[in-house]
């Protein structure tokens, strides 16, 4: 067991794939807290976070056992990506289950500013702006895009971003600053207005 603890993540994956189940226990203990924290920070529900956490590691086990793990040197990023995808799947499923129909109502509930946060037109404008921003984000360098997505789309603190990415808080802040500057430049180059009037 002690010799497993000094192995890299990649060595542990290979050892586990070769039949040593204790190797996965070491991987799990090494990453469980950060993966759980990442999931909980997004879903804000302990029971759901635990379910997604379990599903994340089950999916990792199946993938490794089937010989389909190919992310050399990036186990932590890979396991977080599995968790992230499962979170998105959960939100999509939840959204589908909570759909309300407006077809049988005499009053247009979805376009009435008195009982809504805004009209459908407001929502469409906001969605177009968000879509434009998402398109621009794709052109950012990976490290800037990662920090920006964690901060704005996953609502993570710079401390959490720092812990998850393995860089200092100042580096994370710097990447965010450059990401915003690059987004401004890209929006100007593409004649985009990224604010609502």
Full 3-state SS string of the chain: CHHHHCCCHHHHHHHHHCCCHHHHHHHHHHHHHHHHHHHHHHHCCHHHHHHHHHHHHHHHHHHHHCCCCCCCCCHHHHHHHHHHHHHHHHHHHHHHHCCCCCCCCCCCHHHCCCCCCCCHHHHHHHHHHHHHHHHHHCCCCHHHHHHHHHHHHCCCCHHHHHHHHCCCHHHHHHHHHHHHHHHHHHHHHCCCCCCCC
Is residue 80 situated within a structural domain? Answer: yes
pLDDT tens per residue, range 163-180: 888 899 899 999 989 988
Is residue 133 situated within a structural domain? Answer: yes
Is residue 102 situated within a structural domain? Answer: no
For 133, the token pair is 């921003």
Is residue 26 scored above 90 in pLDDT?
A: yes
pLDDT tens per residue, range 72-128: 778 988 898 899 889 888 888 876 665 554 455 455 544 455 545 555 566 666 666
Instruction: Check residue 109 and give its pLDDT.
Output: 47
**Of 34-43, 81-90, 185-194, the least confident:** 185-194
Is residue 195 situated within a structural domain? Answer: no
Is residue 132 scored above 90 in pLDDT?
A: no
Range of the domain at 41: 2-97
Is residue 4 scored above 70 in pLDDT?
A: yes
Is residue 39 situated within a structural domain? Answer: yes
Instruction: Check residue 2 and give its pLDDT.
Output: 76
Q: Are residue 176 and residue 138 in the same domain, yes or no?
A: yes
Residue, of 57 and 197, whose pLDDT is higher: 57
Degrees to nearest 5, angle at CA 24 with 37 and 34: 10
By C-alpha distance, which of 131, 137, 139 is closest to 149?
A: 137
Q: Which of 97, 120, 151 is the last residue before a domain boundary?
A: 97
Q: Are residue 74 and residue 146 in the same domain, yes or no?
A: no
Q: Are residue 179 and residue 117 in the same domain, yes or no?
A: yes
Q: Which of 97, 120, 153 is the last residue before a domain boundary?
A: 97
Instruction: Check residue 197 and give its pLDDT.
Output: 39
Q: Which of 45, 76, 97 is the last residue before a domain boundary?
A: 97
Write the CB contacts of 76 (distance below 8 Å, at least 6 apart in sequence). Answer: 9, 31, 34
Instruction: Check residue 121 and give its pLDDT.
Output: 60
By C-alpha distance, which of 16, 52, 60, 21 is closest to 36?
A: 52
CATH of the domain at 61: 1.10.1740.10
For 187, the token pair is 């929006």
Q: Are 170 and 161 in contact (CB under 8 A)?
A: no
Is residue 103 situated within a structural domain? Answer: no
pLDDT tens per residue, range 137-165: 888 888 988 888 888 777 788 888 888 88
By C-alpha distance, which of 56, 54, 59 is closest to 69?
A: 59
Question: In the structure, what pLDDT confidence band is assigned to residue 25 with cuts at 50, 70 and 90?
Answer: very high
CATH of the domain at 141: 1.10.10.10
Is residue 197 situated within a structural domain? Answer: no
**Of 16-25, 50-59, 93-102, 111-120, the least confident:** 111-120
**Of 21-35, 58-72, 101-115, the least confident:** 101-115
Q: Are 144 and 182 in contact (CB under 8 A)?
A: yes
């Amino acid at each position: 067991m002690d010799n497993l603890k000094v192995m890299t993540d990649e060595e542990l994956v290979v050892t586990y794939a070769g039949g040593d189940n204790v190797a996965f226990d070491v991987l799990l203990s090494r990453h469980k807290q950060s993966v759980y924290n990442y999931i909980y920070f997004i879903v804000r529900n302990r029971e759901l976070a635990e379910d997604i956490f379990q599903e994340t590691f089950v999916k990792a086990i199946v993938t490794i056992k089937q010989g389909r793990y190919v992310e050399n040197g990036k186990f932590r990023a890979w396991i977080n990506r599995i968790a992230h995808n499962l979170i998105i799947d959960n939100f999509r499923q939840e959204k589908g289950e909570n759909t309300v129909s407006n077809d049988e109502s005499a009053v247009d509930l979805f376009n009435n500013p008195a009982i809504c946060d805004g009209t459908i037109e407001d929502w469409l404008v906001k969605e177009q702006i968000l879509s434009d921003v998402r398109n621009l984000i794709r052109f950012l360098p990976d490290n800037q895009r990662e920090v920006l997505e964690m901060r704005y789309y996953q609502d993570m603190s710079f401390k959490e971003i720092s812990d998850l990415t393995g860089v200092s808080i100042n580096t994370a802040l710097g990447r965010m600053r450059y990401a915003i500057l690059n987004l401004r430049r890209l929006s100007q180059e593409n004649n985009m207005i990224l604010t609502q009037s």
